[in-house]
Structure 1
Amino acid sequence: MSAFIDPYSVGGKTPEIAEHAAVLVIGAGDTGMAAAIDAARSGTRTVLIDEHPLDPSLFGLDVPFHFGQRANGSVQNQGRALDQIARSRSRLDEAFEAGVDVRLGVTAWAGFVNGPTAHGLPKPVIALADLNRSWLMSFDKLIVAAGRRDLGFAFPGWELPGVMGAAALHALIHRYHAFAGRRILVLGGGRLGFGTALDARREGFDVAAIVEAAPAFSAPKDMIEAAETAGIALHAASTIARAEGSAAGIGRAHVVALDDALAPIAGSERTIDCDTICLALGAVPNIELLDQLGCKLTYRANQGGHVPLLTPDGKTSLQGVFAIGDCAGIASDEDGPQRLQTWTRAALAVGGLDVAVCQCEEVTRRDLLEVRPPRYLDRDSAGLRARNLQTLLADGPVNQDQIKRLTRAGMGTCQGRRCREQVTALLALAGGIAPEAVPLPSYRAPLRPLPLSVLRDGHEHPGMRSGWDVWFGIDGQFDPYWTIER
């Protein structure tokens, strides 16, 4: 008896794999560069990719960092940007000499491996893209050194140009030499906040103040003393009430002192002139690619939150896939998620509920807690008015994917990078649970926004083109309903 082969199945119709690398390293920071050099020196063909210099359009979309429209026009010059990035990589010459195939300005936007729902790949592959095209590269070993990203924090006025993240500020100052601000207010009184402020001060920028919601700064004593010596104002037990400015950007910030219950103290408001507000509350490991590949994750508050589950030598749960550097966990003596909880409680007391947490989709704290649908839908039906976060909690554990689908929080062009952890913090506070009890929302390809122009040459297998208008041979599946006889 011969086996029946469904002509509409995807089996045997795999896309073209353009290249293969024995070792593929994603991320050309210090750890990724070191790993690539070591691999190449062992005689292994090694490819090292890094997404910098970025497609200029990504600066406006706040991907991969929260740039807050504080990059100057020089980032539009790809030649200059490439030169600046090359200069910022101290071991780049060493990598070339070791035989590493270095590719800058190349993004890893997805990864595909065989698993419960896919069986046809001859090898695991990473989907890559540059400014002009997209292609697949298979590998024997994958080393992910994707680094960290900024932790977002909402307050009235945070949508104005000039509100940005610490990692973005560091990149604009040191990688691109393209920071457009002059006077900075830093939010976050830990090691990251003080380190960011002192670094900006050394580079010649004016740092107006460092603000911390907790009663005391958690940065090391020597960093606090250095900030005081540099003339930076320090405000502990305080938070930002709002930022003001114009379409051109931030002009000033209003800061209030907090009591022991994290409530604003009447009459304590002060105004600080600044053109940039830097969010330095914490950093988050870039685990999107690892998660999308299917690597097992765990939650470690003192390493930035969700991190890949690793063996001592950096192996993930997937064969041949490793994680190193900050994407494997950010070494810290601080509990970043708990710090965000403190700031969120203060923000609720000072700024209230009608502040947009998800800028892309204009979803406010109230929208999240009341589980309100997007504004373009009917919000006033009896069924929707009867539903809120508490009714969802009564049905089972709170789930961020469920909230995302109901409110669209996290579904915008930044792909949740500015709001994901804030949504977790709000759900945890409202539900009376720890942040780690809120499941991580899912990621889907592409993990970076891609223009359609880079995908236009990716043709399907010829077998996929025949019968494209039916699914598993179901005739009429895509016929308009008004043409179907009833």
Structure 2
Amino acid sequence: MGDSQITDSHALNGKLPAPAACYDVVVIGAGPSGIETAVVAAGEGKSVLLVDENPVAGAAMGNDVPLFFGGRMTTATLNADRMVETVFTSEPGLEAAMEAGVELLLGTCAWGVYRNGPAFGTLPSQVVGLADATRSWLVGFDRLVLATGARDLAIGFPGWNQPGVMGAAALTMLLSRYEAFAGKRVLFVGSHDLALETALLAREKGVAVAGLVEVRDAPQGRADLVEAVRAAQIAIHTDDVVARAEGGIDGVERAILRSGAEIECDTICLGIGLVPAIELVDAMGAKRTLDPVRGGYVPAPDDGIDFVGDCAGLPDTGFDHVAYRMEWARALGAVSAPETIVCQCEEVTRGDLIGVQPPNYLTRSPTMEARSLATLLDDGPANQDQIKRLTRAGMGVCQGRRCRDQVAMMLAIEADQPFGTIPLATHRAPVRPLPLQILADWSESEEMRSGWDVWFGIPTAWIPYRDIGTEAEITHQQARVWSA
């Protein structure tokens, strides 16, 4: 459509500028899978751009984007130059990729993907939206590879909405790539491979491990990992859960278990499971499917886009991750009072969610107070997008990363339905919280500006499209002037 002639000054056809650059292959995510894909493509003689949002800006990390950092990063993360150097040197594959001819952008997030389709045909090419700390721009591609990895599954409990409760993937990132973890003594929730591996990594990095808490009556991970944890004299508290986290001005100070045991710690790390990071998949309108065993939604095959690494699906270890996660959700839900926060950004409680109540800063009429999930289910299956609009759970700056999956689990439990029968809330671009001054394009061409007065001009605030360019347009203009 980019070469089409402009026949209507008010239409977008042909007006959108060409992207800032175009590549044969754009890879989003510079983990092992993304690096390998980029190097292979460069070896085939293709022009390749490799993009990774790490190091993430301190403000975004404070809002747990993209991982559940839980306020446990050091102030070193505020030094952007130091973090770029640290992240680059911690991943040797990045240098190898550059030597292979790959163009590398660190500290750059991908916030949206746009392709022409049945309802949109004005793009000069398919593009991905990128942004760094100072600007936003579009990059064209022939093929897009998403290697966006996975993020932590967060499940709330009393006191989890304070600094010091974080995810295992975030802890691994702070320990291995950022070298900027601020905690000193960590208690892990879960005892499958994720929790065990992260606990051993923390011990290796000199962090004290206060123990692991397991809801089942025995550790759930690989035998060799369990043996290594026990050899390190790390206690595993089985048949137990964190009943609440207590803390002070700096966040978590101790965990109180259901059994009554008190464990001193400044960090509680959730290692219950990971979820494929498919926000871009959602935002571009691509399809997704539920992995019934490994947990989480994964992208369906899509022409022109490849998915590699954990974003395409977590490794199959033969373990029933969904059953394990739902067991944790039920157990933590049982120790959580109605006032326990579910959505930290909007301060939506369990009671609000199950009662389908609006945020507590809005007036609740008697009609609203009589509403509940049960009354909603009388009209049909629960839908998380609907619940999101009614309660605002998932509408905050973290864009649902801390609550989206646990809300779906809670709705399934309350509706007495298997996990996966409640569709997850959708994502829309931008899938990263970006300041408007960065996201906005202030350099619109005159072609783009022409015609906008049809909609926003004064006094011609709106004119029916069919009347544009006819005598009726003048009549509308005169009517507005006379009415004014």
Tell me which residue corresponds to 1:225.
Answer: 227
Matches within 5 A, 1:75-90: 75-90=77-92
Tell me which residue corresponds to 2:410.
Answer: 426
Which string of whole-angstrom CA distances, capped at 9 and with x for unpartnered residues, describes residues 218-257 of structure 1? 101221121111111111111001111112121100011x
User: What letter is aligned with 2:444?
Assistant: E
| C-alpha contact (below 8 Å) 2:158/2:337 kept by paired residues | no
Residue 361 (1) aligns with residue 346 (2): yes
The structure 1 residue matched to 2:179, chosen from 171, 177, 180, is: 177
Tell me which residue corresponds to 1:254.
Answer: 256
User: What letter is aligned with 2:313?
Assistant: G
Instruction: For 2:390 and 2:139, locate their aligned partners in 1 and report how far apart those are by CA, in whole Å.
Output: 36
Tell me which residue corresponds to 2:433.
Answer: 449
* Percent identity for Structure 1 against Structure 2: 48
Q: Show structure 1 runs of 5+ residues with no match.
A: 257-267, 310-315
Instruction: For 2:378 and 2:42, locate their aligned partners in 1 and report how far apart those are by CA, in whole Å.
Output: 55
Instruction: For 1:461 and 1:342, locate their aligned partners in 2 and report how far apart those are by CA, in whole Å.
Output: 56
Give the deviation of 1:216 after TM superposition.
Answer: 2.5
| C-alpha contact (below 8 Å) 1:161/1:249 kept by paired residues | yes
Tell me which residue corresponds to 1:209.
Answer: 211
Tell me which residue corresponds to 1:292.
Answer: 283
Give the deviation of 1:9 after TM superposition.
Answer: 3.0
Matches within 5 A, 1:38-437: 38-256=40-258, 268-309=259-300, 316-317=301-302, 319-333=303-317, 334-379=319-364, 381-437=365-421
Give the deviation of 1:412 after TM superposition.
Answer: 0.3
Instruction: For 1:107 and 1:210, locate their aligned partners in 2 and report how far apart those are by CA, in whole Å.
Output: 34
Query: Helix, strand or coil for the counterpart of 2:247?
Result: strand
Instruction: For 1:22 and 1:14, locate their aligned partners in 2 and report how far apart those are by CA, in whole Å.
Output: 21
Give the deviation of 1:332 after TM superposition.
Answer: 3.6
| C-alpha contact (below 8 Å) 1:184/1:207 kept by paired residues | yes
Query: Helix, strand or coil for the counterpart of 1:357?
Result: strand
Give the deviation of 1:7 after TM superposition.
Answer: 4.0
Instruction: For 1:116 and 1:352, locate their aligned partners in 2 and report how far apart those are by CA, in whole Å.
Output: 48
Tell me which residue corresponds to 2:449.
Answer: 465
Instruction: For 2:42 and 2:232, locate their aligned partners in 1 and report how far apart those are by CA, in whole Å.
Output: 44
| C-alpha contact (below 8 Å) 2:355/2:371 kept by paired residues | yes
Instruction: For 2:441 and 2:409, locate their aligned partners in 1 and report how far apart those are by CA, in whole Å.
Output: 42
User: What letter is aligned with 2:386?
Assistant: Q
User: What letter is aligned with 1:273?
Assistant: E
| C-alpha contact (below 8 Å) 2:157/2:333 kept by paired residues | no
TM-score, scaled to structure 2: 0.91
Let me know the Cα RMSD of the aligned residues: 2.1
User: What letter is aligned with 1:190?
Assistant: H
Which string of whole-angstrom CA distances, capped at 9 and with x for unpartnered residues, describes residues 363-400 of structure 1? 01111111001122221x23212321112111111100
| C-alpha contact (below 8 Å) 2:64/2:70 kept by paired residues | yes
Tell me which residue corresponds to 2:469.
Answer: none
How many residues align structurally?
461
| C-alpha contact (below 8 Å) 1:152/1:418 kept by paired residues | yes
Instruction: For 2:57 and 2:261, locate their aligned partners in 1 and report how far apart those are by CA, in whole Å.
Output: 39
Which string of whole-angstrom CA distances, capped at 9 and with x for unpartnered residues, describes residues 289-310 of structure 1? 122222221100333310012x
Instruction: For 1:94 and 1:209, locate their aligned partners in 2 and report how far apart those are by CA, in whole Å.
Output: 38
Give the deviation of 1:345 after TM superposition.
Answer: 1.2
Query: Helix, strand or coil for the counterpart of 1:210?
Result: strand
Instruction: For 2:95 and 2:448, locate their aligned partners in 1 and report how far apart those are by CA, in whole Å.
Output: 44
Give the deviation of 1:156 after TM superposition.
Answer: 1.1
In structure 2, relative to structure 1, the CA distance for the partners of 1:158 and 1:4 (3 Å cut) is closer
Instruction: For 1:370 and 1:179, locate their aligned partners in 2 and report how far apart those are by CA, in whole Å.
Output: 38
Instruction: For 1:338 and 1:470, locate their aligned partners in 2 and report how far apart those are by CA, in whole Å.
Output: 56
Which string of whole-angstrom CA distances, capped at 9 and with x for unpartnered residues, describes residues 168-190 of structure 1? 10010000100011100000111
User: What letter is aligned with 1:416?
Assistant: G
User: What letter is aligned with 2:416?
Assistant: G
Instruction: For 2:230 and 2:406, locate their aligned partners in 1 and report how far apart those are by CA, in whole Å.
Output: 31
